[in-house]
A = this chain, B = another copy of it.
Amino acid sequence: MNASPLPRPVPARVIDGKAVAAARTQALAQRVAGFRERTGVVPGLAVVLVGDDAASAIYVRRKARQCEAVGMRSVQHVLPGATTQAELLALVERLNRDPDVHGILVQLPLPRPLDEAAILAAVDPDKDVDGFHTMNAGRLALGRPALVPCTPLGCLLLLRELGVALRGKRALVVGRSVIVGRPMAQLLLMEDCTVTIAHRHSQDLAMLCREADILIVAVGIPGLIRGDWIRPGAVVIDVGINRVDDGAGGSRIVGDVAYDEAAHVAGAITPVPGGVGPMTIACLLENTLAAAAAIEGGAAA
């Protein structure tokens, strides 16, 4: 009578990034409408594309379409691949001064020999909706209001969507890229998590993972994180997008977490695809409204 049965593994809650992104985008459209009503201003996003990279062109079109779908203005500047640094800088400076533009996105990568760092540094930090400017990295590092890179912001919004209390929780960020890992750690610190950052030189990654209530992985190694590395009940956010052989002559997309294993241990987990990915453009649009609100002095809410 004393012996209680071993708890059966409960399948993890699957965090549906597509649904969350759709719901947020719908809510954003209402916020944009309210903002336009209050201020008479239409938030505007300028997207700059240099050259004819096919994937970049698809991204840019998708961003423009979603921008307009929520009631914001979208302007695309498509420049030839032979554009010079001076020409591109001149465009960025014109967009910096343009009162109808609240967000500026320079689609990366830029073709050689353009100097990406110099171009990104030229963008007005208050219009830097990608959150890549050093001033925004600094504001975030100092715990101040900042435009935050879209991928880690999307991860945070997924965590918030779960309704899990973050304060005091142990969070592990695996990967320390400037676009995901580092800003992610800052965001979790602002949420009062105890934050650990691990990377290629970390020892005993399995043990580090087992300590974490919240596990964010962004390293680009398919299936690196195994199921038995995960603390039962932990929330797992998988930022990895890796194309692997599907064993049948084709390919498929997988994350950095061994999903089938992890889904029996985690409390909640993002699938790949369909987890973090769909949040990125939603966050770009949220950043654009936030930039417009800061510039125009109106509330974004």
Chain A positions within 8 Å of B, measured between CB atoms, are: 133-144, 167-168, 170, 176, 178, 182, 186, 189, 192, 194-199, 201-203, 208, 211
Residue contact B199 to A194, C-beta cutoff 8 Å? yes
Name 16 extra pairs, CB < 8 A, besides A137-B138, A138-B141, A195-B196.
A134-B138, A134-B139, A134-B142, A134-B144, A135-B135, A137-B141, A140-B141, A141-B178, A143-B178, A143-B182, A168-B202, A170-B203, A189-B197, A192-B199, A194-B196, A194-B197
17 A-B pairs with C-beta separation under 8 A: A133-B138, A135-B138, A137-B142, A141-B178, A141-B186, A142-B178, A167-B201, A168-B202, A168-B203, A194-B198, A194-B199, A194-B201, A194-B208, A195-B196, A195-B197, A196-B196, A211-B211
A141 partner residues in chain B, CB cutoff 8 A: 137-138, 140-141, 178, 182, 186
Interface of A is mostly: mixed
Residue contact B192 to A201, C-beta cutoff 8 Å? yes
CA distance A136 to B139 in the complex (A): 10
